[in-house]
Amino acid sequence: MRYTSTQDALVDVSFSEALLSNLPKSGGLYVPRNFPKFDFQKLIGFNSYADLAAEILQPFTDFSPADLKDIAKKAFNFPVPLTTLDESLFYLELFHGPTAAFKDFGARFLAQSLKNQSGTVLVATSGDTGGAVASAFWQLPGFKVRILFPKGMVSRRQELQLTNWGFNVASYAVRGTFDDCQRLVKTAFAQGHADLRSANSINIGRILPQMVYYAYASILAYKKNKNPSRVIIPSGNAGNACAAVWAKQIGFPIQHVVMACNANQTLSDYFKDNIYRPRPSISTLANAMDVGHPSNFERIRHLYSENEIRFKKDISAYSVSDTQISQTITRRPYQQIICPHTATAFYTYETLEKEKDENTILVGTASAAKFETVVEPLIQETIPIPKMLEETLQRPSHFQEISADENEFLELIRK
């Protein structure tokens, strides 16, 4: 498989090159040059999640089958439950990894894929990415991790997950917004240090592994009643939705991809009037989705560039307010205790028409236990802390507060 750019068809690189070089130099984002087709019926009897992952990802990588199996086994070493909520309604819980959010899938696959390399991983986070990346690269020989997060804009437990690693991980609380953190990271990359590695969701190594759980869930749902699925995904930067669209593209039984967004309306507005208007992000209860310029949407549009009709048939986006998020959490739909991000999917589901002969898969992106300050007062109950999360939360926290000034930041990372 070769990779090209969303903005320059002349770009032609291997998977390993795309992994290491963050972004194509001539602009745009890396995308697969073509999409292999799988006969999902042949994969119905898969042995384990890691086996299925190796099978699906093989044509997308330049790793040997043995290496890829080993990478998949180490990266996906936690459960991926698909719960049945109702006859044709399923709940895909993507938050049973070490940092209790779906970012563990991409971050762990990326770290395992890079493990024979070295470098400094620089990552801006609005909440969950930084913890997942730190956890995945923690004590990995040859790697340093530098995390930037907006000071005071992440939950207490998210902050602990960003700051309590030590060893090869250092964290910076930026006096500014997530957009400021991203700007600082971009400035550093623009300096062209060969040693810097990106672990943000623009990195192809994070998106590809996310296809696997859509393949997995759509197969399991299909096994129940022979119907294809619609997936409803809490979305911000649209990386997770892009992975679902790609899983559909390579032949898995996915009918439609719904992006459930928070009050940041760039995507839902686009589906209303066909104009893409990026804007500054606004902060909401679902903070990991506070994105005003969802970068991965470019990848989705690239796939459909010549077919507007199919695009609208396959994909849609809706916006959910903080009030609707709170009300949904409070109601405990289907007896589930859900996080503010996941609530956007549950809420959106209830507003949509139910199609006959179609399953719906609601995607749970984080554990409610990570957002206890929002969820506990609403449900008036203490949420038990998952064991994996508890272990990380017990270590001491260290971080340095910095300004959002580009020159100060460049000075800092030069040291």
Ligand X SMILES: *Cc1c(COP(=O)(O)O)cnc(C)c1O
Contact footprint for ligand X (CB under 6 A): 101, 103, 127-128, 201, 234-241, 288-289, 341, 365-366
Whole-angstrom distance, CA of residue 187 vs CA of residue 181: 10
Angstrom distances, CA of residue 313 to CA of 202, 245, 305, 310, 346: 25, 12, 14, 5, 21
Which residue lies nearer to ligand X by CB, 65 or 278?
Answer: 278
Minimum distance of ligand X from residue 66's CB (angstroms)? 30
Whole-angstrom distance, CA of residue 113 vs CA of residue 71: 7
321 beta partners: none
Which residue lies nearer to ligand X by CB, 170 or 366?
Answer: 366
Which residue lies nearer to ligand X by CB, 163 or 240?
Answer: 240
Which residue lies nearer to ligand X by CB, 227 or 235?
Answer: 235
Whole-angstrom distance, CA of residue 101 vs CA of residue 90: 18
Which residue lies nearer to ligand X by CB, 68 or 121?
Answer: 121
Minimum distance of ligand X from residue 224's CB (angstroms)? 26
Minimum distance of ligand X from residue 127's CB (angstroms)? 6
Minimum distance of ligand X from residue 362's CB (angstroms)? 13
Using alpha carbons, select from 204, 237, 230, 29 the residue that is nearest to residue 124: 237
Minimum distance of ligand X from residue 242's CB (angstroms)? 8
Q: Which residues contact 74 (CB under 8 A, 6 or more apart)?
A: 108, 112
Which residue lies nearer to ligand X by CB, 100 or 184?
Answer: 100
CB 324 within 8 A of CB 347: yes
User: How long, in residues, is the chain?
Assistant: 415
**Burial of residue 363 (number of CB atoms within 10 Å: 0-12, 13-18, 19+):** buried
149 beta partners: 173
Minimum distance of ligand X from residue 132's CB (angstroms)? 8
CB 97 within 8 A of CB 228: no
Which residue lies nearer to ligand X by CB, 106 or 228?
Answer: 106
Tell which phi-psi region holds residue 383, choosing left (phi > 0), alpha (psi between -120 and 50) or beta. Answer: beta
Minimum distance of ligand X from residue 70's CB (angstroms)? 26
